[in-house]
Structure 1
Amino acid sequence: MLKQKQKISARLTPWLSAACLLSGASAAWAEATPFYYGGSVSLNHVSNLYRVSNNPNSDDVATVSLLGGIDQHLGRQRVFADASLQNSRYRSSSNLNNSGYSLKGGLDWSTIERISGTLSGSSSRSLANYNVGGGIAPVFEKNIETNNQIDSVVRLGLVTKFTLEGDVGFNQRRFTLLQYHGLEFDQLHYSLGLNYQPSSDLRLGVAVRRTSTNYPRSTQTSLTPTFASAKYVRNDIDLTTNWNISGKSAIFARLSSGRQTLAEGGNQNFSGLTGQVSWTWQPTARWNITTSASRDTGLQSSLFQLGAVNTNYDQDSITKALQISATYELTSKIFLTGGASISSVDRKQSLLAIPGLDSSSFDKDKSFNLGVRWAYSRGITLGCQAGQNSRDSSTVYSVYTANNFGCYGQLIVN
């Protein structure tokens, strides 16, 4: 099913790097002890903070992060949670100083019979992306983005090889700047599917999925201001497979046939095929490579898709994305990392389309990154990374290039 995919935010804001790495380390620590806590400090330089096409502005940012969590089995049940707090300070752009957080947790449960499931939720607060594209003019003020999500999955084992699975979830996004209110949404999705597992290495699934998305302030109608809403309804049929080809290679694939209609606020519709293929490959004991390719509408890409270069905010634009990331174990304590990604957004019928813009409006984002980390011990890690983000666009002020580099240190203890 669609929800079995890895849910990763695609944003690449440099000052969040340490927090992401810290969260990954905490998961590994949780395997050995149910309780953990830690912290990290990162220093980063950004060459083009506001992602503008002219007059690039550079700045240095320091981020301090704290986290704690639990991963505990209680009989048949499992409780898990992660909490991360970040505080960022800029050398020159002090107006962007901010505090953020990332919370996620849940419960894996099961009964004596064949019923099991997962209840999970997450919430995050951070500085929003600047220059999101899609014809929206760049802003130069602090803009805080908040995302909330809750999801519930229930599984019923019918016979040995078949499982019936239902999923209900809710997603919400909010911004503090008025210019971004048109990108806020409330999304409800639910699905029902049947999975068939003929062997431990192969799983096949089919599901029907319905998604309702409401943009409560899609269009500003007056200077007061007041807004008009836009509501989308989308129906999909999903075909999925998880295939462990060998101990070194595994593939996840999804093919969806869907139709989306704008129930209120206009007539932008979508109908067609979408999907994703993700491949993890470990050619040797030292290498770990992940590749993902996808085609989907904007919000589906940003919420459920691994590999999009930028967080997508459009409901009905088509996003094609490709990403490859690799880790090489140079020694038992030193790891080299690298990645490249590209996404192409076609906004011929986008909700964000501005009257007068070329009907072939597009954004093409690219990203490259290299890094090295040193695991001094199980709980102490030091590392550095460098990267570049860029965009080519049919809208002049959406074009930009931004470089970043920085180092971090992190400590996790129980």
Structure 2
Amino acid sequence: MSATNTHKIRRLSSALGLLGAACLGSSTAWAEQSPYYYGASLGLNHVSNIYRVNNNANSDEVATASLLAGIDQHLGRQRLYADASVQANRYRKSSTLNNLGYNLKGGLDWSTIGRLSGTVSASANRALANYNIDRNNTTPIFAKNIETNNRLDSTVRLGLVTKLTLEGSVGLVQRRFTLDQFNRFEYDQKRYAVDLFYKPSADLRFGLGLSRSNTDYPRYEAIGTPVTDYKPAAYKRDDINLTSDWTISGKSALYARLSSGKSKQTVGGNNDFSGVTGQLTWNWRPTARWNVSTSVSRDTGLESSLFQNGPVTSSYDQDRLTNALQVNASYELSAKVTLTGGMSFSNTDRAKSLATNSLKDFDKDKAYNLGLRWAYSRGITLGCQVGVQSRDSSVATYAYSANNYGCYGQILVN
């Protein structure tokens, strides 16, 4: 590790140490819960294959220092909440990837004296993008690429009678990249949905709804060499959705969605889809110490939601059908020590037309992770984790394997 980066990491470690001493000295202040919190964290990780290439994989160590803050405040019938974090990432060898990221989210849950209620929420995040996702440019890219995602959602609910609820929602999503080679994955999406829910008992709810999403890719295809302009692309998707939430017992709960939909590329091509998609999630607590969540899904493109926040992100483009499985589990070894683990699998298929031939085109992603978390006190947490990811693909340059391991410490005061 270079002297400069070593010095930076030592300064970060010293700062966290001082903050930890301050927290230990003021533990009596934690006795009264506050709606506010603030804190800091430091993580050190080894990554074996940063750029997700199938050969000449490069490894590196990265230090991540974060500042955290948030609020969760009830104001009469309303609830205001917000979380914010800023992360400084420093690589030991690949210093060109050093970056400053953030995660911001907040919202308002509101209700009236009558039967009207709803939520308004927003989020924004900035981080180093996943590499090896552009199948049209199979040449590996070794440069910093920052991905920014912004989202705004609003939902309004009207309780018609005791067992019926009408719900309407609107959402806006935007994604941007700093590298021009990823322009075709930038998009702006608008989502609309209307759902009618029927709740025959406290443990069971059914839903029937209609949804539409309009997605615009402003720079989908480059024109000219060098590039002088871009051709846009646009998609329209309509779905009929059947949903169900069923709390089977205090130990088990199911969520199911079955959708019949059509997606049409209205501008720039003919990547249309028509068929049945869905998702099934089972949350299971066999004992007080165990917590297991299992999800399976089948969906297309940006509508694939299973791995949005997981170790595998397969939803950058529209022309693909993904079948996926994800399992996450945690086990409390003691009151302060928790063991976590997870695995995920996704199988993505799509057809590429070449003259009169149809070529088989697939990606098969796998990921495994294992971690150990120690809650030293109410505000101090230490942990370590290890992960393995791999992809098998019909395009040789798109296959890769990678692993990572590291530890972190976090301090929160509220």
CA distance in 2, matches of 1:129, 1:364: 16
Q: Which range moved further: 125-134 or 66-75?
A: 125-134
The amino acid across from 1:193 in the alignment is: D
Deviation digits for residues 251-278 of structure 1 (CA, Å, limit 9, x no counterpart): 1110000011110101110000000001
Change (3 A) 1:410 1:355: farther
Change (3 A) 1:245 1:258: same
What does residue 6 of structure 1 align with?
none
Q: Which has the higher contact order (CA 8 A, sep 6+)?
A: 1
The within-5 A match list for 1:342-381 is: 342-348=345-351, 359-381=359-381
CA distance in 2, matches of 1:292, 1:346: 19
Report sequence identity in percent.
61
2:279 aligned to 263, 276, 284, which one?
276
Deviation digits for residues 25-48 of structure 1 (CA, Å, limit 9, x no counterpart): xxxx9x943100111000000111
The amino acid across from 1:162 in the alignment is: L
Q: CA deviation at 1:311?
A: 4.0
Q: CA deviation at 1:221?
A: 1.1
Deviation digits for residues 204-252 of structure 1 (CA, Å, limit 9, x no counterpart): 0000001100000010012233100001000000000111000000011
The within-5 A match list for 1:4-403 is: 32-132=33-133, 134-137=135-138, 138-222=140-224, 223-302=226-305, 309-348=312-351, 359-403=359-403
SS of equivalent to 1:71? strand
Deviation digits for residues 321-378 of structure 1 (CA, Å, limit 9, x no counterpart): 10001101001111111111001111226xxx89999632111110001110111011
> Contact 2:307 / 2:313 at 8 angstroms: preserved in 1?
no
> Contact 1:317 / 1:347 at 8 angstroms: preserved in 2?
yes
What does residue 18 of structure 1 align with?
none
Q: CA deviation at 1:385?
A: 0.4
For the aligned residues, what is the CA RMSD? 1.9
The amino acid across from 1:287 in the alignment is: W
CA distance in 2, matches of 1:371, 1:136: 35
CA distance in 1, matches of 2:319, 2:253: 31
Change (3 A) 1:280 1:136: farther
Q: CA deviation at 1:56?
A: 1.1
The amino acid across from 2:172 in the alignment is: F
TM-score for both structures, normalised by structure 1: 0.89
CA distance in 2, matches of 1:375, 1:163: 41
Deviation digits for residues 122-148 of structure 1 (CA, Å, limit 9, x no counterpart): 000000001115344231100000000
What does residue 25 of structure 1 align with?
none
CA distance in 2, matches of 1:345, 1:378: 42
Question: Gapped runs of 5+ residues in structure 1?
Answer: 1-28
TM-score for both structures, normalised by structure 2: 0.89
> Contact 2:297 / 2:306 at 8 angstroms: preserved in 1?
no
Question: Gapped runs of 5+ residues in structure 2?
Answer: 1-29
SS of equivalent to 1:299? helix
CA distance in 1, matches of 2:199, 2:80: 26
> Contact 2:134 / 2:182 at 8 angstroms: preserved in 1?
no
- Runs of 4+, deviation exceeding 3 Å: 133-136, 302-308, 353-358
SS of equivalent to 1:95? helix
Change (3 A) 1:356 1:219: farther
Deviation digits for residues 174-222 of structure 1 (CA, Å, limit 9, x no counterpart): 0000000000000001011100011111110000001100000010012
